[in-house]
Structure 1
Amino acid sequence: MTKLTHYDIVGSFLRPEELKKAREKFNEGNISQAELTHIENQAIDQLIQKEESLGLKFVTDGEFRRSWWHLDFFWNLNGVAKYNYHESYKFQGAKTRTDNVELTGKITYNSDHPFFEAFKFAQKHANVQVKQTIPSPTLLFRDNRSDNWNNFYDNRRNYLNDLATAYHQTIQHFYDLGCRYLQIDDTTWAFLISKLNETKDNSTEYAKYTSLAEDSVYVINQAIANLPDDLTLATHICRGNFKSTFLFSGGYEPVATYLAQLNYDRFFLEYDSDRAGDLAPIKNIWNNRSNVSIVLGLVTSKSGKLEKKEALIKRINEATELVPLKNLALSTQCGFASTEEGNVLTPEDQWNKIKLVVDTAKQVWG
């Protein structure tokens, strides 16, 4: 496993205005793909330099080539296509665009996935390691995205196996390109927290969501099984992030048993507000897994208000009553721009947040 630091980032950053304008022009047909790529390249190069200047030992390309944190990845798997959902995602107080994905055939690995070239560019321009982020496979069998799986498969297990295989091959190819730190972003567990809490008095509905949780454990562990030992695999458990709003609320208790079964090396857990519940579930995830790392997302990416370092240290100390300090780390609660629109804060706010994470971690862990 790659040696990690006790300070980390989730992955996405606010798009510079020049990049936002360029994407608008591209969507309107006023500039070419080559022109857009040139502007993306410049923005990513500058971003990586900024990340490194703040002391980050693992950087990302900010997801600058994506419109969505998840859909751009799915659209480029074989057997998946883009379609108009005609509905906004149910964020609290904001409406998204209506893009979505649907199955159009059997799921297979795409050796020409554009994320590979994006990783190679970031790696070439970074002096430290590049962390690759991709969405969880669980999102493909949620929200009606694969209700038509039986059009292409005789049984659901074969569908789940193909999905896991496509992910496994994708992750292996990132490794072959030099990736040693890959993060799988996942909103399904927050969705399940909400649904399991809602249906706890309805045995039929509750069973439906426990079955989804079991399928999620199965697919993830199949996808990440038998990968090289020096590849660190992380997950970020997200409650939704669009223009500083959210999708789901609730503590981790309903899904902690399932999370503890996932064979990840590092868990990014959101703990920036009361919506996340208390710290108790982190013990369940860490228990009997002495090498697992729990990253406390105590610094919010949803507003520019800067947390007090003393309050962060107090919360970290509370966490050490459940998990040893060496197994803990600090990060922002989420990325700053899970979609190209970005959260409601300034670039200066963003970098102040990252600096706070780094400075606090160095004070706590040395």
Structure 2
Amino acid sequence: MENYKEERIQVIKTNQAPFKADHVGSLLRPQRIKEARLQKEKGKISAIELRNIEDEEITKLVEKQKKAGLRSITDGDLRRSWWHFDFLEGLKGVEGFKPEEGIQFKGVQTKAHSVRVLDKVDFDQHPMLDDYKFLHSIVGPDHVAKFTIPSPNMLFFRGDINPEIYPDEASLLKDLTQAYQKAIQAFYDEGCRYLQLDDTSWAVFFSEEGRQKIKERGHEPEQLRRLFIQAINHSIAGRPDDMVITMHICRGNFRSTYTASGGYDTIAETLFNELNVDGLFLEYDTERSGGLQPLRQLKRKDLKIVLGFITSKFPELEDKEKIKASLEEAAKLVPKEQLCLSPQCGFASTEEGNIITEEEQWAKLRHVVEIAEEVWN
């Protein structure tokens, strides 16, 4: 185990990801993309024409990220409607459908959409492989192409599972983690060395309200905790040695609203010491996230903690000195070299995006870079 940890430390030092100034990944959809998607829905342009427009806008987006000073470069999820459903629908045995209602956030509900499992889950010829290939081809050697996919937990958490196909969670876990192992290898084969798993499921452990919802769904919190650990660790167990995999722990992000509150206290030991990821993106932009004290539970020297002190939900720029002070406070609990800074979430987890302008978005990202340079350089 010690040799394994030393190897992962070396991988992170070589790759450097996650970076001192990083970001979760999704970015506001340019108006041209929104209009093109509507034209495609109405049959006014073809799928090829839409993709050409997406290619052009992603190319612009890559250059803007570089200009902002970021080292990790994403495609902003510009080709996606949702941060998770689009990927899950690309798995064999999974399809999208329209439920009776959308996902409830604080004061607002998403459009109605979800996924269901109708056959054995597998990974083969996923359309997002081409999405990554295009991103990789334009990023260049001085930056790192980062790709984000939903955690396997999201199929347990959001999916409608056919009990005739999977009568119990153990049988689904086996196929699902094997599918993710194939996915990780496939992205690696296309050049991906920085992959991020996005996950809102852990947020149910943050509050008593969330833990009650676990029981209402027929689980015990400890049972679900073990299931989520297995899903993550089994999925990434065979990842190549020079591939960094991080995870973003999310509390919900739709039109600048949220779904969950509460600190990391009750699940910190699991997140920091039981999951075999290389980095964790943690939301810390409001008091809803609790305090920094759970960081005391971190025992690993090979895990980077990316602190989301900058909000993606609102345009006002945070006071630099207050952010620096928060980073110094965190450094009393975790070695400073293991810390990084980012926005707490993406700017557009769905195609609607947060209530913030594109220029305000870029100002936020430049703010992250400037603070990180002043703190670590």
TM-score using structure 1 length: 0.95
Deviations 1:208-257, CA, capped at 9 Å, x for gaps:
23211210000110000021111001000000000001011110112112
How far does residue 154 in structure 1 lie from its aligned partner after superposition?
5.4
Alignment partner for residue 261 of structure 1, among 255, 263, 274?
274
Give the aligned partner of residue 126 of structure 1. Answer: 139
CA distance in 2, matches of 1:24, 1:146: 28
> Which structure 2 segments of 5+ residues have no match?
1-10
| In the alignment, structure 1 residue 323 sits paired with structure 2 residue 334 | yes
Give the aligned partner of residue 123 of structure 2. Answer: 109
How far does residue 197 in structure 1 lie from its aligned partner after superposition?
5.5
RMSD between aligned alpha carbons? Answer: 1.7
User: Which region of structure 1 is more displaced relative to structure 2, 266-275 or 206-215?
Assistant: 206-215
Do the aligned partners of 1:197 and 1:254 also contact (CA within 8 Å) in 2?
A: no
Give the aligned partner of residue 295 of structure 1. Answer: 306
Do the aligned partners of 2:204 and 2:210 also contact (CA within 8 Å) in 1?
A: no
SS at match of 2:282: strand
SS at match of 1:305: coil
CA distance in 1, matches of 2:88, 2:339: 31
| In the alignment, structure 1 residue 31 sits paired with structure 2 residue 42 | no
How far does residue 153 in structure 1 lie from its aligned partner after superposition?
3.4
* 1:1-366 pair list within 5 angstroms: 1=11, 2-4=15-17, 5-110=19-124, 112-127=125-140, 128-143=143-158, 145-148=159-162, 150-153=163-166, 155-194=168-207, 198-199=211-212, 208-259=220-271, 260-284=273-297, 286-287=298-299, 289-366=300-377
CA distance in 1, matches of 2:104, 2:317: 28
SS at match of 2:50: helix
CA distance in 2, matches of 1:33, 1:207: 42
CA distance in 2, matches of 1:97, 1:154: 29
CA distance in 1, matches of 2:42, 2:249: 35
How far does residue 198 in structure 1 lie from its aligned partner after superposition?
4.7
CA distance in 2, matches of 1:327, 1:21: 42
How far does residue 60 in structure 1 lie from its aligned partner after superposition?
0.1
How far does residue 196 in structure 1 lie from its aligned partner after superposition?
6.5
SS at match of 2:246: strand
Q: 1:282 to 1:107 in 2, by over 3 A?
A: same
Number of residue pairs matched by the alignment: 360
SS at match of 1:353: helix
User: Which region of structure 1 is more displaced relative to structure 2, 234-243 or 156-165?
Assistant: 156-165
Q: 1:27 to 1:205 in 2, by over 3 A?
A: closer
Identity %: 43
Q: 2:352 is matched by which residue type in structure 1?
A: E
**Displacement over 3 Å in runs of 4+:** 194-200, 202-207
CA distance in 1, matches of 2:115, 2:216: 28
Give the aligned partner of residue 7 of structure 2. Answer: none
How far does residue 12 in structure 1 lie from its aligned partner after superposition?
0.3
SS at match of 1:142: helix
How far does residue 206 in structure 1 lie from its aligned partner after superposition?
9.4
